[in-house]
Every structure is written in C-alpha cells, then in structure tokens.
Amino acid sequence: MGAAGRPKSDKARRAVLAAALELVKDHGYAALTIEGIAARAGVAKTTIYRSWPSKAAVVMDAVFVESDPRLSFPDTGSAREDLRLQISRVATLFTEPGFGKPFVGLLAESQHDPALADALHQWLITARRAGAAEVLRRGVERGELRADLDTDVAIDALYGAIYYRLLVSHQPLSAQYARTVVDEVFVGLRAREDI
C-alpha cells in the first residue's frame, strides 16, 4: 500500500518507517501510537498525519513497501523453481522480527479494522495471488503443469501451509520448509507425462 502523500523529506519518511518497525518489535502492534512513532522518529505528529491516515498505514508502508522487492516472483523458466524461490523468501521474511511481528500485528488488527483488512487484501491477496497465478499460468503453457489446474486451490495449498505455521501452529518456519512444501504440493500440479 503506498502512502497518500510523503513526508517533505525522504529522511523524515525513512525515520518514521524505521521508528514504527522498531516500536512494533519492542512493544507489539497494540502498544504502537502515532505519538510514539513521532517521538522515536524525531518528527511532529502532523508530519506523520500528512502522509499516513493511521498507525496501520505507517506500518503497512514500513513492512510492505520496504520488503516488496524481496517478494517478487522470479521467472527462471521453471514454475517449480520460481515457486520454490519465492515461497522460501516469504518464509524467510516471516521469521525476521522486523517483518514477522509487525505483519502478524497487522493481520490481527485487520480483524477489527475494515480499512486495514481491505488494504491487506489489496496488497497481500490480490497482488501476491496474481503473481503466483502468473507463475502457474506459465507452467501450464510450458507443459510443466496440468492443463486443468485450479490455480486458486494450488495457491491455497502452497501458501496455506506457510500461513498455518506462522499464525496457528507456531512450528518452526524456514526457507527449507517452504521448499519442501512446494516439492510435496508440486506432485499434484505436474502434467501427467511428468509424473
């Protein structure tokens, strides 16, 4: 989610985003306030409110805009390898305190904040699912994946395991686990002649 505006200086913007992440890591999302972010960043509250409508918007920018390049989908020529690379990056990012803890806080808050839920849906669901669907579409076109593949179900199977560990079971999450998920799920996605 991009901010509606930007602080007048890029230095102030970076300070606000860094302060928000530090405070979430130190005290959790629920304890985060615009006042606290402003104090930690050394800016006025009005500087923040000119660019972001809420603490959720600040954290969204801090977490997602800063990490977005790491979550892009590669095109290696292999759908399996593209998914292994991207999903392992997601799992690695989720284990980093500067991303994982704020992200979980945003997910929790989105249960009670329709605007935040909509923003998360736009960034997380719509954009990321479109990227994954493109990888799967390329795999079908190249004959790697079944022509009758249900991409929505495939995406749920691939990413659902990662979110389950992050949000429900709290079992260890790692890039290796993510690659294993892709390898296991991929068996059901492959074109018949590859099985």
Per-residue pLDDT of the chain (195 residues; tens, 9 = 90+): 444 444 458 899 999 998 988 888 788 777 889 999 999 999 999 999 998 888 888 888 887 766 667 788 999 999 999 999 999 999 998 898 777 887 888 888 888 888 778 878 877 778 889 999 999 999 999 999 999 999 999 999 999 999 999 999 989 999 999 999 999 999 988 877 644
Looking at residue 180, what is its pLDDT?
Answer: 95
CB-CB contact of 102 with 31 (8 Å): no
Looking at residue 8, what is its pLDDT?
Answer: 58
**Which segments of the chain does DSSP mark as H helices, in order?**
10-27, 34-41, 45-51, 55-60, 66-67, 79-95, 97-110, 114-120, 128-141, 151-164, 175-189
Looking at residue 1, what is its pLDDT?
Answer: 41
3-state secondary structure of 9: coil
Looking at residue 173, what is its pLDDT?
Answer: 92
Q: What are phi and psi of 190, to 5 degrees?
A: -65, 150
Looking at residue 39, what is its pLDDT?
Answer: 96
Residues 6 or more apart in contact with residue 59 via CB below 8 angstroms: 20, 21, 24, 29, 32, 102, 105, 106
Does residue 143 come out as left (phi exceeding 0), alpha (psi in the -120 to 50 range) or beta? left
3-state secondary structure of 21: helix
pTM of this structure: 0.74
